[in-house]
Chains A and B, each alone.
Chain A
Amino acid sequence: MTDNVSIVIVSHSPEVAKGAADMVRQMVGEEVRVAFCGGNGDGGLGTDVAAILEALQSVYTPKGVAVLVDLGGAETNSEMAIEMLPEGQAENVKICNAPIVEGAVMAATEAAGGAALSVVCATAEEFQS
């Protein structure tokens, strides 16, 4: 078990979410815990609050969780899921305002060095292609 910030990837597409997570794992191996989810409850494109909540809890650590999202509904549903976490956990979970793939890889690389959540998010958000 690492004590690094974890990464959660939330896309409308299960394939995009898994692909982004694969790219993160290629960079940081097992040093950073990564969870991902995508698709609505029927398996179509969309996001699902219950699935996001499960992903958040599967990698939650008090050190922090950086969340990368794609489009609007993914962000709104992620905000909702974060508020539904057990008391005291939400403050350790932040949505990064960054592109989902590049942001996830940058955040994970920073997290692998043991950086704090605020630094992990800042690194993802500073990314310029």
Chain B
Amino acid sequence: MTAAQTRLSLQRFIEAAQATITAHAEELTALDQAIGDGDHGHNMVRGFDAMREAAAEIGAQPFGKALQKAGMTLVMKVGGASGPLYGSLLMAMGKAGDEAPEDISTLAGIFAAGVEAVKARGKSEAGEKTMLDVLVPVQAALVAGGDATAVRAAADEGLASTEAMLATKGRASFLGERSIGHLDPGARSSALLVHAVCDVLEEE
């Protein structure tokens, strides 16, 4: 991929991410009202709108620096815990890869660095009804060399698995057993973003 193509792609990824978050903002808020504080939709829109506004500036940077800038934009703008969590994901990915990955195993390695950063930031692991229940299966699908269809399926299965889980992290943990039976809003936003990225990759 040439530098110009990378620049184009990053802008398209940002546009696709912002579009899906905007389209599903009310759904994210409704999920968060059930088991959290009901601000996930608004917070994500604020963060991804800011990223969209900075898309040209972000896209002008090399891949690694661009991801770090995109992550920092989310950290500074989201206003909830999801800001540092998504921000840490992108910033760690940016630090792990200076250049855009040219094969799936390189992408898997870069993504793994991001997922580790989310675990550290959230002091969490998969199985606790969080975004990690989507990110960790996606990482496994990438390691297995899966295509966009396999990656989307991993995200969807991970998201579905959160419904039966007991929340032990975040505000949903205050509900105890009553958190069971609801999808996790962070897992939902993660699945939406994974779909958006896969859709753009397929169009490339």
Contacts and interface: CB of A to CB of B under 8 A. Distances in A.
Do the two chains bind?
yes
| Interface SS of B by simple majority | helix
Contact of A49 (B43, B75, B169): B75
Contacts of B85: 76
B81 A72 contact: yes
Interface stretch (A36-44, A86-94, A98-106, A111-119): A36-44
| Interface SS of A by simple majority | loop
Interface residues of B, number: 22
A76 B37 contact: no
A81 to B, nearest CB: 9
A71 interface: yes
A47 B79 contact: yes
30 contacts: A40-B39, A40-B43, A40-B79, A41-B77, A42-B42, A42-B46, A44-B79, A45-B37, A45-B39, A46-B39, A46-B79, A46-B80, A47-B80, A48-B79, A49-B75, A49-B76, A49-B83, A49-B84, A50-B76, A72-B81, A73-B79, A73-B80, A76-B84, A76-B122, A77-B80, A77-B81, A79-B121, A80-B75, A80-B88, A80-B121
Given A47-B79, A48-B79, A77-B79, 10 more contacts: A41-B77, A44-B42, A48-B76, A71-B37, A71-B171, A72-B170, A73-B80, A76-B81, A80-B75, A80-B84
